[in-house]
Amino acid sequence: MKQSQLFTKTRWEDPADETSKNAKLLIRAGFIHKEMAGVYDYLPLGLKVLRKIENIIREEMNKIGGEEVLLTTLQSPDLWQKTDRWDENKVDNWFKTKLASGGDLGLANTHEEPITALLVHHLNSYKDFPKYIYQFQTKFRNELRAKSGIMRTREFLMKDLYSFSRNEEEFKEFYEKCATAYMNIFTRVGLGEVTFRTVASGGAFTSDFTDEFQTLSESGEDVIYVDKNKKIAINKEVYTDETLEKLDLNRSDLVEEKAIEVGNIFPLGTRYTDSLGLNFRDEDGLLHPVIMGSYGIGLGRLLGTIVEVLSDDGGIVWPKEVAPFSIHLVQIGISDEVKTVSENLYQTLIKNNIEVLFDDREASAGEKLADADLLGIPFRVVVSEKTLKAESFEIKKRASGEILYLNETELIELCQ
């Protein structure tokens, strides 16, 4: 893509109404736009990153047997009344609205109810299980506070998967598989080293623990205690002598840290399947309840976390797998030769299926290089009068600042 054709502009001042690093940098770099508190638009560059994150999650969910669907966000009260989650005293973050023809509607804050109710029409024999169903869909939550940029918003995309199993053993097997898939996802988006599976409370529905995936960051809203050797953590909310003993953890091995919950996995037992009548018949025709689990990852929260954790003073630093482009090709100077060499390199890279952002704008070198740092694309290649004289291209790695001198073939190899 040519940068001269990109409608978004970078800006140098921090937006006055943002306190979080992720929102400041993403707005300055033109990745997102703020509609109002807790509500953000994704612009071309931001959408590219979001889609890459989505595809990584999709690949990992498909690998463990996930089947993708797309449920509606408009929800009728009767389903949610059956599970006692329509009442605002029970669920305090509903957005509700009215039908023109009369009656209430809710904008889904999660999807346990609709997925369970619809499966009653499809699953009924032991032969139909287990099933793992997921989607990428917008959730609406009337969050009280929205001060963490895109990490806590009132409208956000979530990958939510629901597992349906015949017994605890079958449920647990998938639960562990999904935990492994989650770590693969967080590793692929560049957060593997600082993300910990974290024991948390079971919430209202289960006496079991649940597992959160927490990424260490000063901007996090949660406090966790981390055992870095065992690579596991425990949320402050369940940090008691009794739990430590149960988990075989020692107080002296644990370090207190602030962290961002990037995902979680949740045993639900028969809480929803009972209320909504999702059962199955075994070989002998006997009826059994279905054991359910839910598994969420917030895409915007994950994107924001990458920015919080990996950016530096110059701007954003995208890990390779989620970067909007692999190469930022920066043309400095407007002589015919500079133009020709950079245009040719741009075409060659495209032919080799490398994603390039080509800064062909007429702007000063200082402005272009500062923009390249702000945008955070992994490899920056400058073509200028000075570089024309050299035999090779000068490549700067955004993350480390390391400089490489490579010919065209080597540059292509670097990106593949």
- Which residue has the closest beta carbon to ligand ATP? 298
In the complex, least distance from residue 398 CB atom to ligand ATP, rounded to whole angstroms: 26
Q: Per CB under 6 A, which region of 82-90, 291-299, 353-361, 373-381 contacts ligand ATP?
A: 291-299
Contact string (CB under 6 A) for ligand ATP, positions 214-253, x = contact: ----------------------------------------
Contact 392, 406 (CB under 8 A): yes
Q: Which of residues 85-114 bind ligand ATP (CB under 6 A)?
A: 110
> CA 61, CA 386: separation in Å to the nearest integer?
48
> In Å, what is the CA distance from 26 to each residue of 20, 30, 113, 184, 221?
10, 6, 34, 25, 20
In the complex, least distance from residue 210 CB atom to ligand ATP, rounded to whole angstroms: 9
Q: Would you count residue 156 as binding ligand ATP (CB under 6 A)?
A: yes
Q: Would you count residue 143 as binding ligand ATP (CB under 6 A)?
A: yes
Q: Would you count residue 153 as binding ligand ATP (CB under 6 A)?
A: yes
Q: Give the closest residue to 79 by CA, choosing from 103, 101, 112, 102.
A: 112
Among 26, 49, 61, 158, binds ligand ATP (CB under 6 A): 158
Q: Which of residues 361-400 bind ligand ATP (CB under 6 A)?
A: none
Q: Which of residues 257-276 bind ligand ATP (CB under 6 A)?
A: 261-264
Q: Per CB under 6 A, which region of 13-21, 58-66, 189-197, 298-306 contacts ligand ATP?
A: 298-306
In the complex, least distance from residue 108 CB atom to ligand ATP, rounded to whole angstroms: 11
Residues of this chain that interact with ligand ATP (CB under 6 A) are 110, 141, 143, 152-153, 156, 158, 261-264, 296-298, 300-301
